[in-house]
Amino acid sequence: NNRGSAAWMAPEVFSGSKYNEKCDVYSFGIMLWEMITRRKPFEDIEGSALTILWKAFMDARPPPIAGCPQPLMDLIVR
């Protein structure tokens, strides 16, 4: 859709809340996670893009990255 792809879309956008900078921070954290791990976020979730959106809305997040420096991990989970 015009607001992003399921795995990178902020839960606030999915819920219909106003799009703001918090949404960008969420998406940036997901992109950082993907770049560091070289894996797609939520690749363990079976189902459609709607399933991914729903799980993220219900607070599902990609797993922490072992060995990632804490300041970088803090940015990712923000």
Q: Where are the domains of the chain?
A: 6-77
Residue 69 scores a pLDDT above 90:
yes
What was the pLDDT predicted at 68?
93
* Measured distance CA(48)–CA(15) in Å, rounded: 17
Question: Confidence class of residue 2 from pLDDT cuts 50, 70 and 90?
Answer: low
Q: How far apart are CA 25 and CA 66, in angstroms?
A: 21
Query: What is the CATH code for 6-77?
Result: 1.10.510.10
pTM here?
0.76
**pLDDT (tens digit per residue) in 29-41:** 999 999 999 998 8
Q: Are 73 and 62 in contact (CB under 8 A)?
A: no
* H or E, element range at 27: helix 21-37
CA distance 59 to 42: 12
- Give the separation between CA 36 and CA 53, rounded to whole angstroms: 22
